[in-house]
Chains A and B, each alone.
Chain A
Amino acid sequence: MSNEELIKLIDTWGFTLQTTEEGTEFLTFTVRKEDLHEFCRKLKADPATHFDLLFCVTGMDWGNELGVIYHLASTDLKHEIVVKVMTADRETPELDTVCDIWRTAEFHEMEVFDFFGIRFKGHPNLKRLFLTPDWDGYPLRKDYVDEANMVIK
């Protein structure tokens, strides 16, 4: 199913989203924070799209807002898209989880929380996976400074 048909089909769902294709090789949708869960559930449930494989979850810090990039693929219909979601609130960033749709998101969202501090509502046990529980600050944010053990070159 080519990108144009995908865009037409997804426009019929009536979400407010921007679709772009330049600067990347995938068809990218930027979704609002509120209807992320609904959008993802429809993407998997709808037999025409049936995105059943979430193969990459990337936490991002675009300077003034934090966000997550989901790379989705459909194993039988052989097409792939990228879903982006952003939140401007940097003190207590909050997104809703997708781990009830794709089971692998459980681990990936723990990783994004560990490095970016984005809390996921509805996640079974959101905890620091890689860093020690008493680690202060979220390392992969752009404004993270740790001169104790980071020798900058």
Chain B
Amino acid sequence: MGIDEKKRFLDQYQGSGMEYDLPKDFPGKVIPGGNGGNIVVTALDSVINWGRSNSLWPLYFGTSCCAIEMMQTGASKHDFSRFGFEVARPSPRQADLIIIAGTIVNKMAPVLRRLYDQMAEPKYVIAMGACAISGGPFYYNSYSVVKGADHVIPVDVYIPGCPPRPEALLEGLILLQKKIKTEHAKTKVNPIDGFDEGTL
């Protein structure tokens, strides 16, 4: 299974040019994340990006233990409503951010993919927790776990931890906001085009 080159948008990886090397027996193909971030932004782009980054409405999507930490972040102590995230929308049409909080299982992968396709265009994905990044504690000896959500949909920000602390989720959300602020507002590179047809 050839693992094609994976370009990641992470601050610390920026300068060091470190290539992300996956273990040889990493099953499945990984979709390169990052939708054209980190480019010079015109005035109009910065206004629209300011609007988009400050009102990210997450989707109601929590599969397992990380969902409890996401609820804790929504609660009063680590309140993410300060950034305007607390308008969680049950329908994918109005949400523009999926926080994959928990394990993605083979039976859930098509559902996740359909939810991603149903979301309106400037959409972002946060993989929260070790299970969403690489299958976490269920990587070995499990026949039903998808080894990482980026086999299914392109992921913008990865938050390690099992489950990550609410502060880690907040830091991930702020990182996503920074990434949106450096994005090209009008022309959006949809990284998943061609994944189904196998040309990616």
Contacts and interface: CB of A to CB of B under 8 A. Distances in A.
Are A and B in contact, CB atoms below 8 Å, in the complex? Answer: yes
Interface of A: 130-132, 139, 144, 146, 148-153
Interface of B: 25, 27-28, 106-107, 139-147
27 contacts: A130-B107, A131-B107, A131-B144, A132-B106, A132-B107, A139-B143, A139-B144, A144-B143, A149-B27, A149-B28, A149-B106, A149-B143, A149-B144, A149-B145, A149-B146, A149-B147, A150-B141, A150-B142, A150-B143, A151-B25, A151-B27, A151-B140, A151-B141, A151-B147, A152-B140, A152-B141, A153-B141
Given A131-B144, A149-B143, 7 more contacts: A132-B107, A139-B144, A146-B143, A148-B27, A149-B144, A150-B141, A150-B142
Nearest to A150: B143
A147 to B, nearest CB: 9
A133 to B, nearest CB: 10
Contacts of A149: 27-28, 106, 143-147
A148 B28 CA distance: 9
A146 B144 CA distance: 10
A149 B146 CA distance: 8
B66 to A, nearest CB: 21
A142 B143 CA distance: 14
Give chain B's interface secondary structure class: loop
A68 B145 CA distance: 26
B130 to A, nearest CB: 15
B150 to A, nearest CB: 15
B149 to A, nearest CB: 14
Across the A-B interface, the 8 shortest Cβ-Cβ residue pairs: A153-B140, A150-B143, A146-B143, A151-B140, A132-B107, A139-B143, A149-B27, A149-B143
A120 B72 CA distance: 44
Contacts of A148: 27
Nearest to A137: B143
Nearest to A140: B143
A142 B142 CA distance: 14
Contacts of A150: 141-143
A51 B106 CA distance: 39
A100 B25 CA distance: 48
B141 to A, nearest CB: 6
A58 B142 CA distance: 20
Contacts of B140: 151-153
A149 B28 CA distance: 8
- Residue of A132, A144, A149, A150 most packed against chain B (CB within 10 A): A149
